[in-house]
A and B are shown apart, each in its own frame.
Chain A
């Protein structure tokens, strides 16, 4: 079955360390996204990519970085510059990134805890 795989499900890091969250999709979708979810805040867009080797900042990109070297993969690095990195991170994909009418398919998330 096609889908989005996020790994690991739980991740623990010490403050000051960079950490990379994995996101892989086998849906052959062009566009991929990273969202951050905090209680009561809904989903906030970190970065998105509409095509390989291209990506755009979302609403809360500071302290995060991404790469899109392959269509299937869109890893997110949480750097030490992110002041409050503890959160639930969701990766998503869609058939296309333009038009606004392509539903998002989500992975099951990674819960990152930084102490």
Chain B
């Protein structure tokens, strides 16, 4: 069965430090990959997506993610974290030919930023 794993429930980084949030998926073919961000009490906002082509994708707010087929990973990165990046981040996976009812979300990683 398809699955998405975000191994880190909670990460704390200092403002200005680099960030990497991990996402691993289980699926037999190339999936569609998404990262979303959620501020407290709000809905989710799309940060970036990967469908095909260049495996390094750029998103909004200075985020990027790299698709590594050999590792079944799609990790989210940011070179320098700002206090406003504190939020919860969700990785999601969609499948070719599937409906959006087949979009699977990870359980999220909560990011805290120290001053």
Contacts and interface: CB of A to CB of B under 8 A. Distances in A.
Interface of A: 4, 6, 31, 33, 40-43, 45, 48, 50, 56, 58, 90, 92, 94, 96-109, 111
Interface residues of B, number: 29
Nearest to B45: A106
Given A97-B100, A104-B100, 16 more contacts: A31-B99, A40-B107, A45-B103, A48-B101, A50-B99, A56-B101, A58-B101, A98-B100, A99-B96, A100-B98, A100-B100, A101-B96, A102-B100, A106-B36, A106-B43, A107-B43
B42 A109 contact: yes
Contacts of A90: 43-44
Nearest to A43: B105
B67 interface: no
B63 interface: no
Contact of A104 (B31, B44, B96): B44
A40 B9 CA distance: 8
Interface of B: 9, 31-32, 34, 36, 41-46, 49, 51, 90, 92, 94-103, 105-108
Given A40-B9, A42-B90, A104-B103, A99 B97 contact: yes
A12 B103 CA distance: 30
Nearest to B49: A103
A104 B49 CA distance: 11
22 contacts: A33-B101, A41-B107, A42-B105, A42-B108, A43-B105, A48-B99, A58-B101, A90-B44, A92-B43, A99-B96, A100-B94, A100-B95, A100-B98, A101-B96, A102-B100, A104-B34, A106-B43, A106-B44, A106-B45, A107-B43, A108-B43, A109-B41
A104 B46 contact: yes
